[in-house]
Structure 1
């Protein structure tokens, strides 16, 4: 009883230190800075608050074919950010396109120019054909809106997204970024979306019965060549509605959304379709084995970064042009760690980083060739220089290898 009375009369004084969770909420900048720049006497490595290194991405997983009522689907998870993408294909008939007669006239002009190049046997014939095909692909996909991405942030994916609210500015911005990247990378080929009709041609026997003199102009070889497809017509297009939903948002939604779009398009299959002359409509086959996958151009992978500065006021200070001495002092001070470029930032780090970089890279020859930068976007600051961008390209190239392995296994 004496010990119990003594313990009650001398209570334990409350601790004056804050737990890490409360310290992170009250002083987020100081909390992240303490992890990235620990005291030299502590012998602790420089790591982020989430335990990752500066150039380390979150654990990524992908699963394709998760949705049943779509032509292609995928679920991609990067850390606690999860994106679901479903691709639905619908038929757009050319007779429903108001400007199709004008575009068909331009296509006939390009085909005529191509036939003239074949007759003249120009040395740059292949280049002209490739340029004409690329322009035709761009005109069909962009002008006819054959790719329609739409991103939505589901209710409860993050605090602040309440039910019944209109689409946020973030969702609209991400939808526009997806559409812009689909067009700039030319990921989907327009030829995979075209529905052709080949008019029947009279064979040699029919022509011989009608006119024996014209028998010499008939090619008896029925194999498919250039002349066999000269008179074929486009009767419709496949329109791909790419619906993306972020069901869990914990930072860097664009990389997760774009990865889910890549995985879903690689999983997309279009049924065999043809123009039926009797019913004058486009018919599709129910046989799943006859469906064909999209032949995508490469594998563009997006990698996002943010810059965290040790000086919390560096973001809102007025920008002045330094003189020679000040610029020299800044370059010398740059040797000390005053900023960190963080790969794949989470929601906590995005609120503290003011400068952001997004790189989209691809590798030629299925990963065995050189790295090609398809997009480079930087905004919000001025601290990242050319050397930093070169390092980020190398990091993005390693990220490409990792994403290719993940997408090939899903």
Structure 2
């Protein structure tokens, strides 16, 4: 009985090609460069590894009122980056401010001198130019000096593998918190008038005014005795807490959009000074609360510059500026692109770029007015010139329209 053994199955030869996921991890720079600079014979457009065009932003969505224990809240998602913002309002009585009595007496003395010595004060107040400037100055001084806006950003939520829950604040979280605070002060987004709790002292009666006139005092003294100025008894302090629950690049744009949406959703209860109990009392009626009257809607747009040369970061330190410019001009003459400006970079692209740019724009009068550049900054290199920055402003203006529609529908 003879039996023939089955022939051994021939194993397939090992594949010499790598799947895209492994190639992206082993050669990240070459992987992104292959997408942005396809062969000329392929007739394929320049596209990023995530499938977006260089100037295309990720899809943005927003939802407000998700947190019931806050005065205002919002959840904003930019691609896979998600930011949750909650605004809590607490009262700060002026009697707890150490320097309040000194600053109030100095301001009262200044106003009194201006009324007595400046004959054009009444005309200026009727025109309104100087009073508006004074109001803006008071808004800025009260908000900044008294720290009425307190933003805090947290990344210790397990949003990314590098951030462990319960860990102390990282340098990135502290930097983002400082950027949000600086932008709140620069844009003057929140008005100090919305944060003040006023008290109007009762005016003197007619008999008291007659006594002043009978005592042969000046009419100015009688007028000042009869009409007392309103007093500020407390301020609302807004604690703006931002939590990044999912980090996939460009956390600042998502965090700022969540702050903007949360402030638009914030409602402050009606508060007044109870003269009998000598304390500030708040109303429980939701119908009596009021929203913040924000100044515009500034939108932030971030960009990064991807260099075709992987060693451009340290090579730029060695090669003089003139030689670098000559190489760029020669590449442009040959039609070879050396760098790409990527809008709304994700986490993969942020690790391959050094130069960043952020542009904050706003449009007054509900989007029908002139475009205003609120803030423009760039760091990490000198590849961006003035002409490219103008193009980024145009892209940011289109981005403003998209974000306005998303937040406006909330």
Given the two structures, how large is their TM-score scaled by the length of structure 1? Answer: 0.90
**Contact 1:71–1:269 (8 Å) recurs in 2:** yes
Report SS of the residue matched to 2:131: helix
User: Is the CA contact 1:198–1:229 (under 8 Å) kept in the aligned structure 2?
Assistant: no
Q: Tell me what 2:349 maps to.
A: 349
Matched position secondary structure for 1:299: coil
The one of 171, 174, 185 aligned to 2:173: 171
1:394 counterpart = 2:388: no
Shift of residue 127, structure 1, vs aligned partner: 2.9
SS in structure 2 at match of 1:85: strand
Corresponding position: 1:136 with 2:134 = no
* Deviations 1:214-248 (CA, angstroms, capped at 9, x unpaired): 9xx99xxxxxxxx9985110000000000000000
Q: Are 2:93 and 2:234, in contact at CA under 8 Å, matched by a contact in 1?
A: yes
- The one-character-per-residue Cα deviations of 1:101-136 (angstroms, maximum 9, x if unpaired) are 122123324533664657555569633222221221
Q: Does 1:75 align with 2:75?
A: yes
Aligned residues: 396
Matched, 1:241 2:243: no
Matches within 5 A, 1:11-410: 11-112=11-112, 115=115, 119-121=120-122, 126-202=128-204, 231-317=229-315, 318-323=317-322, 327-334=325-332, 336-410=336-410
CA contact (8 A) 1:114 1:129 kept: no
Determine the C-alpha separation between the residues in 1 that align with 2:114 and 2:238: 30
Over residues 22-66 of structure 1, what are the superposed CA-to-partner deviations in whole Å (9 max), with x where a residue is unaligned? 000000000000000011111211110000001110010000000
Measured in 1, the distance between the counterparts of 2:296 and 2:357 equals: 22
Q: Secondary structure at the match of 2:242?
A: strand
Give 5+ residue unaligned stretches, structure 2. 220-224
Rounded to whole Å, the distance in 1 between the matches of 2:369 and 2:294 is: 17
Separation in structure 1 between the aligned mates of residue 285 and residue 173 of structure 2, nearest angstrom: 37
- 1:210 to partner: Cα distance: 6.9
- 5+ unaligned residues in a row in structure 1: which ranges? 219-226
Structure 1 residues 300 and 370, CA gap change in structure 2 (3 angstroms): same
SS in 2 for 1:181: helix
Q: CA RMSD in A?
A: 2.6
Q: CA deviation at 1:193?
A: 0.2
